[in-house]
């Protein structure tokens, strides 16, 4: 049974279905909800190829519902219960079992991703128009609805767009251009889109964030390299300021994770932000966010270096161009990176020259 499921997980049609489910925010145990959605117009065209592949493999391997039930009692009792006590199709339960994780680099390496025809040929991003809008699950653009990539880590119980998306969309009201990476693999015609909201018995207490006094990058300093560092997690966020033509300042930011306990990890994914600041207007003219993929060997080098090493893969996710206020730039950084405490330390000017692992 292990080999049967492993082979299914390697099927590209099934990978695409899992990618879509993860982008919807659906986890493996939400089987009844999946059954309802997967039968809907638009959605069934996406998931039927994966379910057909599972059904074909079941027949070829002579897999019986009873044997699969026994297997799941040891692996996922809830799924075993569904097989034992309900009429939910076997192929849907199997797809749900496989819907646990996805190697995110496969989105770009297989690739699972399909970019729109009008995507920028170099960066893969799409310029939004004045009719574009966003909700808690994705973006409406022209005739399609695009789910957020799993990279955005949207809250499953969200009722509003992720804060990063909100901060980007606001920029269109200031006549700034905003571009996003949109993936047709996780999209469908907007007339078929069915919003889905979850309610959890949980009270979320968000802390107040005050960005009124930002000292970075405007505080005086001799070095062009800065870092904020968490001694408990060994995590650091690096900043680099480069003085370019016409007195422009390039400000780069990258979030690095410690390799402690992860020496054998194959791939490391980091968040990287690039921005261009014009000191004459006291505004940014360009801000973009990307994900960097490093293999183990390259990350071993990168984690102990300044921002100068090249990743194995650099994938741009969003871009804002025009005139961006310093406060809005700060919000983009705060909402894009994972560690708000370290970012806030940076904005307060609590920066150091550099910290390397093991020091």
Contact by Cβ (8 Å): 105, 112: no
Quick one: which of 306, 311, 309 has its CA closest to 293?
311
- Residue 203: inside a domain, yes or no? no
From the list 296, 237, 236, the residue with the least C-alpha distance to 265 is 296
The answer as to whether 220 is a domain residue is no
Of 102, 117, 133, the residue that ends a domain is: 102
Helix, strand, or coil here: 203?
coil
Within a domain: 8: yes
Short-list 359, 109, 145, 95, CA closest to 236: 359
C-alpha 283/C-alpha 160 separation (Å) is 28
Residue identified by tokens 């990890």 is 265
Whether 282 and 343 share a structural domain: yes
Mean pLDDT over 105-129 rounds to: 95
- What is the band of 196 on the pLDDT scale with cuts at 50, 70, 90? confident
39 and 83 housed in the same domain = yes
User: In this structure, is residue 195 part of a structural domain?
Assistant: no
199-236 pLDDT, tens digit per residue, is 544 444 444 566 666 766 555 444 578 888 888 878 89
Does residue 353 lie in a domain region? no
What's the pLDDT band for 354 if we cut at 50, 70, 90? Answer: low
Write out pLDDT tens, residues 298-339. Answer: 999 998 888 877 799 999 999 999 999 999 999 999 999 988
By residue range, what is the domain housing residue 68?
Answer: 2-102
Q: How many CB atoms lie within 10 A of CB 270?
A: 21
Q: Please state, in angstroms and rounded to a whole number, the distance separating the CA atoms of residues 21 and 269.
A: 21
- Same-domain status, 238 and 279: yes
Domain count along the chain: 3
**Any domain includes 204:** no
What are the tokens at 258? 């410690």
pLDDT at 220: 47
Measured CA to CA, the distance from residue 66 to residue 60 in angstroms comes to 17
For tokens 């390259």, what's the residue? 298
* Cβ proximity of 256 and 238 under 8 Å: yes
Lowest mean pLDDT among 38-42, 159-163, 254-258, 351-355: 351-355
Residue 320 in domain? yes
Length, in residues, of the chain:
359
pLDDT of amino acid 134: 95
């Amino acid at each position: 049974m292990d080999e049967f499921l492993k082979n299914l997980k390697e099927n590209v049609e099934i990978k695409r279905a899992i990618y879509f489910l993860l982008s919807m925010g659906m986890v493996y145990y939400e089987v009844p909800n999946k059954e309802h959605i997967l039968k809907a117009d638009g959605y069934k065209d996406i998931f039927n190829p994966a379910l057909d592949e599972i059904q074909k493999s079941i027949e070829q391997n002579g897999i019986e519902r009873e044997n699969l039930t026994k297997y799941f009692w040891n692996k996922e009792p809830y799924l075993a219960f569904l097989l034992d006590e309900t009429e939910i199709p076997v192929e849907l339960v199997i797809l749900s079992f496989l819907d646990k994780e996805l190697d995110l680099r496969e989105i770009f390496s297989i690739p699972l991703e399909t970019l729109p025809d009008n995507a920028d040929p170099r960066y893969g991003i799409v310029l939004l128009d004045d009719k574009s809008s966003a909700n808690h699950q994705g973006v409406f653009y022209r005739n399609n609805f695009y789910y957020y990539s799993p990279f955005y880590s949207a809250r499953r119980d969200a009722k509003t767009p992720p804060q990063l998306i909100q901060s980007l969309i606001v920029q269109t009201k200031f006549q700034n251009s905003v571009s996003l990476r949109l993936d047709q693999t996780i999209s469908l015609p907007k007339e078929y889109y069915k919003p889905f909201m979850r309610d959890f018995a949980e009270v979320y207490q968000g802390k107040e964030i005050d960005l009124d006094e930002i000292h970075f990058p405007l505080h005086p300093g001799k070095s062009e390299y800065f870092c904020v560092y968490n001694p408990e997690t060994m995590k650091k966020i690096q900043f680099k300021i480069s003085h370019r033509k016409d007195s422009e300042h390039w400000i780069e930011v990258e979030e690095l994770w410690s390799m402690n306990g992860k020496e054998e990890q194959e791939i490391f994914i980091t968040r990287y932000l690039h921005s261009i600041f014009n000191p004459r207007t006291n505004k940014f003219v360009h801000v973009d966010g990307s994900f960097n993929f490093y293999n183990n060997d390259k990350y071993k080098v990168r984690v102990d270096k300044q921002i100068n090493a090249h990743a194995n893969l650099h994938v741009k996710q969003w871009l804002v161009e025009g005139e961006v206020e310093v406060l809005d730039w700060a919000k983009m950084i705060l909402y894009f990176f994972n560690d708000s405490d370290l970012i806030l330390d940076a904005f307060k000017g609590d920066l150091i020259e550099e910290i390397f692992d093991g020091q």
